[in-house]
Amino acid sequence: MTQTPVNREQGTGNRERTQRVPPVSGLSKASSSGFTLLGVLIGALFIVLVSTGLVFTAQRTGRVATATKERLISTLLAREGVELVRAIRDNNWLATPRCPAVGACTIFWRGQTSGPGALCNGTFRIDADALELLPASAGSEETRLALDGTAYRHGSGTPTTYRRWVTIESPEEGCGTPSIFSLGSIPAPQPPQPLTVRVVVAWDDNPDASCAPGRQCVELREDLHPWMNFR
């Protein structure tokens, strides 16, 4: 049992006067309660700060992952566009009869003025299941790709945010104009010029066919040359 200290003072008649001293334990409890409340507040503030940081980091990571996925898909779609144009060029060459051993060889390696093999100057859309360049204006909804199963194509399917433009550029007239190649000692009147394929895939709301700075887009360029090894 804790005994409370007392002060004893001598009074008159040798009688003692007792004065009780208040315990100091009460002050200790109040001070302890104050420090405990402060600790709770600091702990709560720390938890809020950590939670906010985790949420911000998760959101930022999610945005980065989404942007990376969109850019990867757009790059693959742009590469597909280039390869589809290359396939048309190859088919035009393979459809050409065998050139003679000596003399001039006329080849419509850019196709006719229209049809599946035409590689005319301009802006187009193309799909793997059709393999034909179809005219497409910059702001047309026809340039929007849809997801049909596991393939992206124009037309039926679930609409996506991706748009694709295929632009053919060349100093020559292009489609419908044959290229004449020389075999043996006969010189060619004019060597054929390569064509430039420019494919833009965008996943923003801008309907423009150019990949300007600040846009969410991917652009691939490649020069396609006429074959020089005759069959």
Could you report the per-residue pLDDT of 12-71, keeping only the tens digit for each? 445 555 555 455 444 455 555 556 877 777 777 778 777 777 776 766 666 667 778 899
Whole-angstrom distance, CA of residue 59 vs CA of residue 44: 23
Indicate if the pLDDT at residue 72 is higher than 80. yes
Whole-angstrom distance, CA of residue 63 vs CA of residue 80: 26
Provide the pLDDT confidence category of residue 222 given band limits of 50, 70 and 90. very high
So what's the pLDDT on residue 88?
A: 93
Judged by average pLDDT, the poorest of 80-84, 111-115, 174-178 is 174-178
Mean pLDDT of 158-182: 83
Closest listed residue to residue 216, CA positions, set 196, 200, 197: 200
Of the chain, the percentage scoring pLDDT greater than 90 comes to 27
What is the DSSP annotation of 13-34?
GG-EEEEEPPPSHHHHHHHHHH
- Pick the more confident residue, 47 or 195: 195
**Cβ-Cβ contacts under 8 Å for 16 (sequence gap 6 or more):** 8, 9, 10
Domain ranges of the chain: 52-224
**Cβ-Cβ contacts under 8 Å for 127 (sequence gap 6 or more):** 84, 153, 154, 155
Dmax (CA) of the chain: 152
Closest listed residue to residue 161, CA positions, set 141, 178, 138: 141
Mean pLDDT of 186-212: 80
Strands 103-107, 122-125: pairing kind:
unpaired
CB atoms within 10 A of CB 222: 16
Mean pLDDT of 221-229: 79
Bridge partners of 76, per DSSP, are none
Mean per-residue pLDDT of the chain: 77
Closest listed residue to residue 153, CA positions, set 76, 87, 77: 77
Closest listed residue to residue 170, CA positions, set 140, 130, 198: 198
What is the DSSP annotation of 89-158?
HHHHHHTSPPPPSSEEEEE-TT--SSSTT---SEEEE--TTT---EE--TT-GGGEEEEETTEEESSSSE
So what's the pLDDT on residue 112?
A: 82
Provide the pLDDT confidence category of residue 156 given band limits of 50, 70 and 90. confident
So what's the pLDDT on residue 183?
A: 62
Bridge partners of 97, per DSSP, are none
Indicate if the pLDDT at residue 221 is higher than 60. yes
So what's the pLDDT on residue 138?
A: 58
- Which secondary structure element, helix H or strand E, spans residue 45, and what is its range? helix 25-94
Indicate if the pLDDT at residue 220 is higher than 70. yes
So what's the pLDDT on residue 163?
A: 93
